[in-house]
A and B are shown apart, each in its own frame.
Chain A
Amino acid sequence: MFRVLKEVFIAIPKGMFVVFKQMFHKPVTVDYPFVKPPMAPRYRGLHFLERYDDGSERCVCCGLCAASCPADAIYMEPAETERGERYAKIYEINELRCIFCGFCEEACPEEAIFLGKEYEFASSHRDNFIYTKDDLLVKWPRTKPSEVKFLRPMRRVAWQQSEEGRPQH
């Protein structure tokens, strides 16, 4: 009986006072669509394909990203330019299959594919989740500076020196 009275007349007002004090604290949530929460520096969002500083594509369509992809979300078909440079004719990522593990980024020997900070790519149609090369490649000229620090910002010198035609074997 005494315990019950103590609960009613001490515990409940005490708890309610805590809630009242809480009203004057700053909310912990952010005003989302207008204010975006800070992202973790290593956040893995929507992919993008990087370019060299001269604007040419980095991806050589080696297939390592597709091979390393545990969800089998990457599809690519290679082709060659008239200068004999290999590139990806078709490069598609199914973002519905993708688990955003970042293995493609780790596997890439050309520093071509990265997982960005973009996460607002919801759509009401499945087909919109097949991201083609047009969607993935960064715009050129760049609209904003690259987020990526490259180990190898320039093309290999040997390639630059071969002026015209196929390189001689």
Chain B
Amino acid sequence: MLEFAVITGVKAFMVLNVLLLTCAWTTYLERRFLARMQSRIGPNTAGYRGLLTPIADLIKLLFKEDFIPAAAHKPLYLLAPLMAFIPAMLPLAVIPFGSTINLFGREINLVVSDFNLGLLFILAMTSLGIYGIIMAGWSPNSKFSLLGGLRSSAQMISYEIGLGMSLIGVIMLAGTLNLVELVEQQSSILDWYIVKQPVGFVLYLICAFAETNRSPFDLPEAESELVGGYHTEYSSMRFGLFFVGEYANMVTVSAVATTVFLGGWQGPFLPPVLWFVIKCFAFLFFYIWVRGSLPRFRYDQLMKFGWFVLIPIALANILITALFVLL
């Protein structure tokens, strides 16, 4: 029992730290790639080619004034960043990073928790994140935050349906919600669920972009339209938590997409963990690439697209998949 606790604790600690570091340096990667796509240079001053930029950002955020509006509902105001931040990291607990390895004479599963309802757990945690946004929108008693929070929560709730439905096709084919088993099923490239469920993958992609509030669905914080969305009234590291939470969401969504559709850690020649990282970063690069390419949706277009296009296609996909499974 003690051994299990220690091993799990160490794994959780490592995953958490790797995730936080990945989030920090994803901001750097995003700024660099986006700059190159827009014919700019991007941050290149702090450290070699600007590699220390995230640390500089962190120091800057920590030393800023931690401001709490006078009219704010304090408990909720203080709780909201954590509510946005923590659910963003939790899904990583069930995602397998590689097969088992031998360490100090023990077989160690490279997954924090080999959990039978893994996929459901991920969907549940993604839904929890909305509470943070609603609280952050409502508690500071500011109209800009409230509008941003409303937009954001409406968008996330709408696209969550599509997100769940896009995964149902995979679940039906796999017959399991356990992510470790899901990865083991995708041993050859033809067994990857992106091949078996291309429509599901595209739907997941679109819904994931909307779910993480990224362009072209970045209406909640549309810089050119709103003041700043639900985190308008936050400053210092509280804002930083929202920021990290958003990037943690991106990393999580990439990891889920890798696990469910792209074969997880499966791949030839290279070690499994490396394959997982490569696939994740390819997905993150795609995020940045889309941000550099596509313009923002209008709000009514966003809602119409979610309800009248994505959900019907997802339903049709489920129906067709069900027919195939049945036959």
Q: Does B associate with A?
A: yes
| Residue contact B36 to A29, C-beta cutoff 8 Å | no
Q: Is B304 an interface residue (CB 8 A)?
A: no
Which residue of B has the minimal Cβ distance to A26? B39
Question: What is the CA–CA distance of A30 and B292 in the complex, to the nearest angstrom?
Answer: 20
Task: With both chains docked as a complex, state the minimum distance between the C-beta of A157 and any C-beta of chain B, in angstroms.
Answer: 55
Contact A20 B39 (CB under 8 A): no
Do B293 and A15 touch across chains, with their CB atoms under 8 A apart?
Answer: yes
Judged by a CB distance under 8 angstroms, whether A158 is at the interface is no
Q: Is the CB of B290 within 8 A of A16?
A: yes
- The answer on a CB contact under 8 Å between A27 and B39 is yes
**Does B157 touch A at the CB level, under 8 Å?**
no
Minimum CB distance partner of A28 in chain B: B39
Q: How many residues of B contact A (CB 8 A)?
A: 14
Determine the chain A residues whose CB is within 8 A of the CB of B40 once the complex forms.
27-29
B44 to chain A: which residues have CB within 8 Å?
31
Residue of B nearest to A24 (CB): B36
In the complex formed, the residue of A with least CB distance to B44 is A31
The residue from B39, B292, B293 contacting A25, defined by CB atoms under 8 A apart: B39
The contact of A27 among B36, B290, B293, by CB within 8 Å, is B36
Determine if B37 and A12 form an interchain contact, defined as CB atoms under 8 angstroms apart. Answer: no
Do residues A22 and B36 form an inter-chain contact, with CB atoms below 8 A? yes
Query: Which interface residue of A15, A18, A19, A22 has the most chain B CB atoms within 10 A?
Result: A19
For B290, give the chain A residue with the smallest CB separation: A16
Interface residues in A1-27 (C-beta closer than 8 Å to B): 12, 15-16, 18-20, 22-23, 25, 27
- With both beta carbons as reference points, the residue of chain A lying nearest to B42 in the complex is identified as A27
Is B36 a contact of A23 with CB atoms below 8 Å?
A: yes
Enumerate chain A residues within 8 angstroms of B289, measured Cβ to Cβ: 16, 19-20
B103 in the interface, Cβ–Cβ < 8 Å?
A: no
B55 to chain A minimum Cβ distance, whole angstroms, is 20
Decide: A12 and B294 in contact? CB cutoff 8 A. yes
Say if the beta carbon of B41 comes within 8 Å of chain A: yes
Do A19 and B39 have beta carbons less than 8 Å apart?
no
Instruction: State whether B41 touches A22 (Cβ < 8 A).
Output: no
Q: Are A19 and B293 in contact, with the CB atoms below 8 A?
A: yes
**Cross-chain contact A23 with B293 (CB below 8 angstroms):** no
Complex interface: chain A residues within 8 A of B36 (CB): 22-23, 27
Taking the closest CB of chain B, its distance from the CB of A1, in whole angstroms, is 11
In the bound complex, residues from chain B placing their C-beta under 8 Å from that of A12 are 293-294
Contact status B39-A29, CB under 8 Å? yes
A-side contacts of B38, CB under 8 Å:
22
CB distance from A14 to the nearest CB of B (A): 10
A25: chain B residues within 8 A (beta carbon): 39
What 7 A-B pairs have minimum CB-CB distances, sorted nearest first?
A19-B293, A16-B293, A28-B39, A23-B36, A27-B41, A29-B40, A19-B292
Show 19 residue pairs from A and B whose CB-CB distance is below 8 angstroms, ordered by the A residue: A12-B294, A15-B294, A16-B290, A16-B293, A16-B294, A18-B293, A19-B37, A19-B293, A20-B289, A22-B36, A22-B37, A22-B39, A27-B36, A27-B39, A28-B39, A28-B40, A29-B39, A31-B41, A31-B44
A residues near B (Cβ < 8 Å) are 12, 15-16, 18-20, 22-23, 25, 27-31
